[in-house]
Amino acid sequence: MRKGRIVVLDEVNGKSAAALLVNGQIHDLLIEADNNLPQPEAIYRGKTTLPMKGQNGIILDLGNGQKGFLKNAKGISQGTEMTVQVATHAERGKATPVVNKLIFKSRYCIVTPDAPGLNIARSIKDDEERERLLEIVHELSINRSNEYGLIIRSSAMNVDEDAISDDINAMYDLADNTMSQTDGDPALIMPAPPAEMRAWRDWVNPDPDEVIKEENSFENMGIWDHIEKLKQSKTNLPSGASMIIEPTSAFVAVDVNTGNDSSLSAGLKANLEVAKELPNQLSLRGLGGQVIIDFAPSPKKDRKLIETALNSSFRKGKIDTIVVGWTTLGNFELQRKRERIPLSELLQD
Mean pLDDT of 175-204: 92
Mean pLDDT of 254-265: 91
Query: Percentage of residues in the chain with pLDDT exceeding 70?
Result: 97
Mean pLDDT of 205-225: 89
For residue 89, name the pLDDT band (cuts at 50, 70, 90): confident
User: Could you tell me the CA-to-CA distances from 348 to 12, 13, 267 in Å, in that order?
Assistant: 10, 9, 36
Q: What does DSSP assign to residue 153? A: -
Phi, psi values for residue 342, rounded to 5°: -50, 140
Secondary structure (DSSP) of 275-328? HHHHHHHHHHHT--EEEEEEPPP--GGGHHHHHHHHHHHHHHSSS-EEEEEE-T
pLDDT at 208: 78
Q: In CATH terms, is domain 104-193 a member of 3.30.230? A: yes
111 has a pLDDT exceeding 90: yes
Mean pLDDT of 64-76: 92
Query: Percentage of residues in the chain with pLDDT exceeding 90?
Result: 72
Q: Which CATH class is domain 43-99?
A: mainly beta
- Three-state DSSP at 212 gives strand
349 has a pLDDT exceeding 70: no
Nearest to 288 by CA among 279, 297, 296: 279
For residue 1, name the pLDDT band (cuts at 50, 70, 90): low
For residue 106, name the pLDDT band (cuts at 50, 70, 90): very high
Average pLDDT, the chain: 91
Predicted model pTM:
0.86
**Sheet of 321-326, strands arranged across:** 234-236, 242-247, 252-257, 289-294, 332-336, 321-326
140 has a pLDDT exceeding 80: no
User: Could you tell me the CA-to-CA distances from 269 to 253, 260, 264, 296 in Å, in that order?
Assistant: 20, 13, 9, 9
pLDDT at 142: 59
pLDDT at 205: 67
For residue 2, name the pLDDT band (cuts at 50, 70, 90): confident
36 has a pLDDT exceeding 90: no
Mean pLDDT of 112-140: 90
pLDDT at 22: 92
The CA-to-CA distance between both ends of the chain, in Å, stands at: 31
Give me the count of residues in the chain.
Answer: 349
CB atoms within 10 A of CB 201: 17
Q: Between these two residues, 146 and 298, which has the higher pLDDT value?
A: 298
pLDDT at 141: 64
CB atoms within 10 A of CB 64: 11
Contacts of 67 (CB under 8 A, 6+ apart): 59, 60, 61, 95, 96
Mean pLDDT of 208-235: 93
Q: Between these two residues, 128 and 34, which has the higher pLDDT value?
A: 128
105 has a pLDDT exceeding 80: yes
pLDDT at 126: 94
Q: Between these two residues, 142 and 63, which has the higher pLDDT value?
A: 63
pLDDT at 37: 85
pLDDT at 38: 92
9 has a pLDDT exceeding 90: yes
206 has a pLDDT exceeding 80: no
For residue 269, name the pLDDT band (cuts at 50, 70, 90): very high
